[in-house]
Copies of this chain bind each other. A is one copy, B any other.
Amino acid sequence: MALEHAILVSLLEKPGSGYELAHRFERSIGYFWTATHQQIYRVLGRMEGDGLLDVREVPQQGRPDKKEYSVAAPGRAALSAWLHQPVEPESIRHELAVKIRGAAFDDPAALISEVERHRKAHSDRLARYLTGEQRDFTGPEAPRPLDTGRELQHVVLRGGIAFERMTVAWLDDVLDTLHRLRAERPGAT
């Protein structure tokens, strides 16, 4: 149930509506957890029912009203309990890797454009992360000592950056391999 915990963390950082949370999950929270708005609304409803969250109806002008959620005391306790419990180190799930190994039973060269597409998506994301890092964590915006929250946000962002950099480099390795295999078998398409 890590979505619950990701929502608690995000709402502790700043209260907000389901819609706003969905956007954060496409941005900063998205470095390490993803969720669609349907999932978020469903879980928000359940968490409110369980007393983990408080809701406040916020009337707005020029746009529909919203429900602003914030973390209630039991929610904070639930997060704290989870933080003190071990979680299992996760394994990767990489569909593209399944495809690469599957390509041995089809035409490997046909994968090249797909891999290039993935490479672009990851290098775009890397650029976005680096821009965010420049904006939020350097110069006058750099976290002062003792700003624990900012320091921890930064180290998580550095993890996202390292992941994307590693992925781009690996996809280059994959592309080299696919090109080499095509050169060795000039008969293939």
Q: Footprint of B on A, CB under 8 Å?
A: 2, 5-6, 8-9, 12-13, 30-34, 76, 79-80, 82-84, 86-87, 89-106, 108, 110-111, 114, 117-118, 121-122, 145-146, 148-149, 151-153, 155-156, 158-160, 162-163, 165-166, 169-170, 173-174, 177, 180-181, 184-185
Contacts and interface: CB of A to CB of B under 8 A. Distances in A.
Contacts of A5: 95, 98-99, 102
Given A5-B99, A9-B105, A162-B170, 14 more contacts: A6-B98, A30-B91, A32-B101, A80-B105, A84-B110, A87-B95, A97-B159, A101-B152, A103-B152, A148-B181, A158-B173, A162-B169, A163-B170, A165-B166
B97 A83 contact: no
A32 to B, nearest CB: 3
For the complex, would chain A's binding face be called helix, strand, loop or mixed by DSSP majority? helix
A159 B146 contact: no
Number of this chain's copies in the complex: 2
A9 B102 contact: yes
Contacts of A151: 177, 180-181
A94 B163 CA distance: 11
A89 B106 contact: no
B110 A83 contact: yes
B95 A83 contact: no
